[in-house]
Amino acid sequence: MLDAYPILTLLPPLIAIVLVIVTKKVLVSLGAGAVVAGLVLAEFNPVSMVVWIWDAVVRLVWVDGEINWFTILIVAFLFQLGIVTALVMMSGGAAAFTEWAAKRIKSRRGARVLTGLLGMIIFIDDYFNALAVGQVARPITDRYQVSRAKLAYMIDSSSAPTVVLMPLSSWGATIMGIMAPVLAASTLAFTQIEAFVLSAFMNYYAIAALLLLWLTILLGLDFGGMRREELRAAQGRGLYGAHDVAPAQIDENVPTHTGGAMRALIMPFVVLFIGVVIGMYVSGGIVGDDWSVLATLANTDVAIALNVGGLAALAVAGYYCVRYTRGSAKFPTGTRRRGVAHGAKSMSGAVLILLFAWVLADLIGELGTGEYLASVVEALSMPAVWLVPALFVVAGLIAFATGTSWGSFGILLPLAGEMMTAVPGGDEFLIAAFGAVLAGAVWGDHSSPISDTTILSSTGAACSIPTHVSTQLPYAFVGALAALVGYVVYALAQSGVLGLVVTLGLVVAIALVIRKVRPSVEDQAVLAAQSSEG
C-alpha cells in the first residue's frame, strides 16, 4: 500500500500534530498518531496494527537483542532531576538563590537576560540545556512574573540554535561525523571542522532565532499567544493558564528550610554540569578508543553522561538537604523521603509524554516519512544553487513531521552531498546546502509539538506543551521566513554574506515593526498605571 500511496506516510504525524493543537491533550494526540501509524503499516488490519504498536513499545527497552539503554537512562535522568529539584527546595537553596538574585536583578528584563545567558553558556548538549536552565532560572523568572510560556521559549530558542552552531558539542561532533564521507566524495579540500564552521555561517535560521531571542529579551517583544501569557503573568493573574497542565511542578506543600544557603542550589547544578562533561568525554573515549576532544564528542553516549552528572548532583543535593534540615521541626521522620517521592512523581507526566513520543517516532521511522520527503527533493529538477532553499524547507518539514532534527539532518546531509556532487559545479554550493539542512532541521524541531526537545523544554520551564508550541510558533515563523528570504537571496546573488545580512536585517525590521505596533508588556503596564492615575 505504501508503495502505491507513499503520501500516506505523512498522515500519522499530521494527525498527531493537529490533535495536539486542537485538543491540547498531548497523550491522546500522540496515542492517536501511533494508532494511525500502526494501521497504515498494517495496511489497516487491526490485529497487525496491535503487533506493530507493541513491537514499537518493546523497542523502548529492548532492541536488536540488547537492552535499549538510551531510553532507560534518559527516563532515569528525568527522575533524578525531579528529585534534585525537590531536595534543593527542601534545603532552602532555591529560596536563598532567589533572595540573592533579587538584590541584583531588579526587573523582568533582568530575569530574561539571566535565562538567555544561561541558555547560551550551557552549549554542550540540548537535552542538558533544556532541563538544567529551567531548573536554575525558574525561581527568578517566577519572582519577576515572567510567564512559563516565555521561559519555555527562551530555553528552547537558546538550546538547539546554540548547540548546532558549536563544534564542541554533542551535535557538532555528530554532524561532523556525517559530513566526513560527503566531503571525501567531493572536490572540496575542507576538513570536517572547517566545513562545520563555514556551514554554521550558512545556518541562517539558528542565527536568526538567537538574534530574535535577544531582541525579545531586551525589547520585550510579545506577540501572538505569547502576549496573552505575558500580560496575565505581569498582571499577577498567574504564570500559566488555569486550564494548563504544567509538567514537573513541585507541590508548594513540600516543606522548605528557612535560612538555607545559596550553595545548596548552585553546587548540585555545578556538579551536574561537571559530571555531564566528564561523562561525555570518558564515554566517548572508551567507545572510540580515541581521546581527542572531537573524537570523544563524536562517540559520546549522552544518556550515560547525563546520568553520571545526575547521580553526582543527587548526592550533593542530598548532602545539603540533610545538612540544613537535620533537627528542624519542619522535617520530622519521613518528611525528606516524601519530598524525594514527590520530586520523582513530578516528572511522571513528562516521562509518559516522552515515551509516547518515542513510540510515535519509532513508527514514523518504520513508515519512512523522512525518506519520502527527501525523495521529493531528490526528484526536483533545478539548478544546484536553488536546491539550497529547497533543502531548508524540506529539512524543516521532515523535522516537523518526525519530531526529530537529528533524523532530518541524518537523512538530508548525505543526500545533499549526493545531489551536489552529482551536478556539475554543485560542489561550490555544498557548504551552503549543509547549512540549509541544519537550519531547516532546527526550525522544524522548534515548531513540532511531538519533538523531544519541545517536550523537555516544556518540562524544564514547567509549562504545558500545547501552550509552549502555540506561543513559540509565531517566533519560529519569523525566524524561518527571514532565513528563507536569505536563502533565496543567496541563490540569486550566490553570496553567503549577503544572504546572512538580509536574514538578520529582516529579523530586526520585523522586530522593530512589532515593537512599534505592540508595546512591551512592561510599557503597557506603565501606560495603564498612568491612565488610572489621570
pLDDT per residue rounded down to tens, the chain (534 residues): 777 788 898 899 889 888 887 887 888 988 999 999 999 999 999 999 999 999 999 999 998 889 999 899 989 988 998 898 889 889 888 788 878 877 888 889 999 999 999 888 877 777 778 878 888 888 889 989 999 999 999 999 998 899 899 887 778 877 887 888 888 877 777 877 788 889 999 999 999 999 999 999 999 899 999 999 999 998 888 888 766 655 545 555 577 777 778 898 889 988 988 998 899 889 888 877 778 877 787 778 888 988 999 999 999 999 999 998 887 878 887 888 888 888 888 888 878 888 998 899 889 889 988 788 878 777 777 888 898 999 999 999 988 988 878 777 888 888 888 778 777 777 889 999 999 999 999 999 999 998 888 988 998 888 988 999 999 999 999 999 999 999 999 999 999 999 999 999 999 999 999 998 888 777 665 555 545 554
pLDDT of residue 245: 58
Residue 284 burial by Cβ neighbours in a 10 Å radius (0-12, 13-18, 19+): buried
Q: What is the pLDDT of residue 43?
A: 92
Length of the chain: 534
* DSSP H or E segment with residue 66: strand 66-67
Residue 62: per-residue pLDDT: 92
* C-alpha to C-alpha distance for 168 and 122, rounded to whole angstroms: 11
Helix (H) or strand (E) holding 62: strand 62-63
CA angle, 236 then 237 then 239, to 5°: 85
pLDDT value of residue 55:
96
By C-alpha distance, which of 226, 254, 220, 258 is closest to 98?
Answer: 258
Block residue for cell numbers 548552585: 266
Phi and psi for 446 in degrees, rounded to 5?
-65, -30
CA atoms in the 13 A half-sphere facing the CB of 373: 28
Q: What is the pLDDT of residue 193?
A: 78
Angle of the 452-461 helix axis to the 126-143 helix axis, nearest 10 = 30
Which of 213, 157, 168 has its CA nearest to residue 193? Answer: 168
Handedness of CA 413, 417, 419, 420 (dihedral sign): positive
In 379-531, DSSP assigns E strands to none
**What CA dihedral angle connects 273, 214, 105 and 274, to 10 degrees?**
10
Q: What is the CA radius of gyration of the chain?
A: 23
What is the distance between the alpha carbons of residues 495 and 506, in angstroms, rounded to a whole number?
A: 17
Q: Can you give the pLDDT at residue 532?
A: 52
Q: CB burial class (10 A; 0-12, 13-18, 19+) of residue 177?
A: middle
